[in-house]
Chains A and B, each alone.
Chain A
């Protein structure tokens, strides 16, 4: 199998596994997300365990992976170049947090729940696309 086919296969596999984990962890449920965010209500701290488990793994594995001169199926690592917490980052994350707190959906769980036979994730996904285009247009018209 050529590298280019393996690259596509591993993209699918990583997406599958990531979503399986989101679903297994319970984070696929917007109600469970809101139960985490609702610290003054019947608080459910599960999200912290999920994030801790995931980041605990990457904290260890990324150290080893990043010591490699390049990834197995590509000529270089493609990493974010920005390192400072600038204004767009803060403003964007403030907005993301507000939207997340309103509906309990972030992009991951939207795709995990997309084909389970409910219209709700489809509506949220289409709205997310609309929001992404609004940012793109507002940004490029400056």
Chain B
């Protein structure tokens, strides 16, 4: 467990929680990233697109700022193209069908004590663990 980084993890997590608080407190919205993004791409409604774009733009800028100002820690997975495409398509399809990802169901849904979100979190966590197990220890790749 030498790769365990609880201190930066906790501080980062608190910042994530505060960001979600800000969006609900000021704008009255749930900080669900897939929901905000889908509302701008697949389900556009007049007058409801610009703030979504600015939120995503803020996300892109936030990553650039953290990586350049504090620590350049990001490393791509260097996975083959077909795997990135397959994984991305499944994530996009699944988060649309399941109305949310780790931010909406995890950070905000749990904060709202939503049973639906708790079921979502337990489902994607267990499926993620199962999939990684099969890929790494049964098929022996990656």
Task: Name A residues whose Cβ lies closer than 8 Å to a Cβ of B.
Answer: 6-32, 34-35, 37-47, 49-59, 61-62, 65-66, 68, 70-74, 76-80, 82-85, 88-108, 111-116, 118, 120-121, 123-136, 139
Least CB separation from B76: chain A residue: A120
Main secondary structure of the interface of B (DSSP, over half): helix
The residue among A15, A39, A103 with the most chain B CB atoms within 10 A of its own CB is A15
B14 A54 Cβ-Cβ under 8 A: yes
Chain A interface helix/strand/loop/mixed: helix
Instruction: Kindly count the residue-residue contacts between A and B in the assembled complex, taking CB atoms under 8 Å apart.
Output: 487
B25, B97, B106: the one contacting A65 at CB < 8 Å is B25
Q: Contact: A16 with B132, CB < 8 Å?
A: no
Assess whether B92 is in contact with A135, with CB atoms less than 8 Å apart. Answer: yes
A123:B14 contact, CB within 8 angstroms: no
B23 → A minimal CB distance (Å): 4
What chain A residues lie within 8 Å of B76 (beta carbons)? Answer: 30, 113, 118, 120-121
Contact of B130 among A8, A15, A56, A101 (CB under 8 A): A101
Please determine whether B89 and A71 come into contact, CB atoms closer than 8 angstroms. no
Interface residues on B, range: 35 or more
Choice from A55, A116, A134 contacting B106 with Cβ under 8 Å: A55
Closest approach, in angstroms, between the C-beta of A41 and any C-beta of chain B? 6
A-contacting residues, B1-26, CB 8 Å? 1, 3-6, 8-26
Chain B residues close to A by CB (< 8 Å): 1, 3-6, 8-31, 33-34, 37-38, 41-43, 50-52, 54-67, 70, 73-79, 81, 83-99, 101-103, 105-116, 119-120, 123-133, 135-137, 142
14 A-B contact pairs sorted by A residue (CB < 8 Å): A14-B20, A14-B27, A18-B19, A18-B62, A25-B11, A52-B13, A58-B111, A91-B98, A96-B124, A98-B94, A105-B88, A105-B91, A113-B76, A135-B92
A residues in contact with B16, CB < 8 Å: 18, 21-22, 25, 50, 53-54, 57
A42 CA / B38 CA spacing, docked (Å): 35
Q: Taking the nearest CB of chain B, how far is it from the CB of A95, in angstroms?
A: 3
Q: Is the CB of B55 within 8 A of A11?
A: yes
Residues of B within 8 A of A107 (CB): 33-34, 37, 91, 95, 101-103
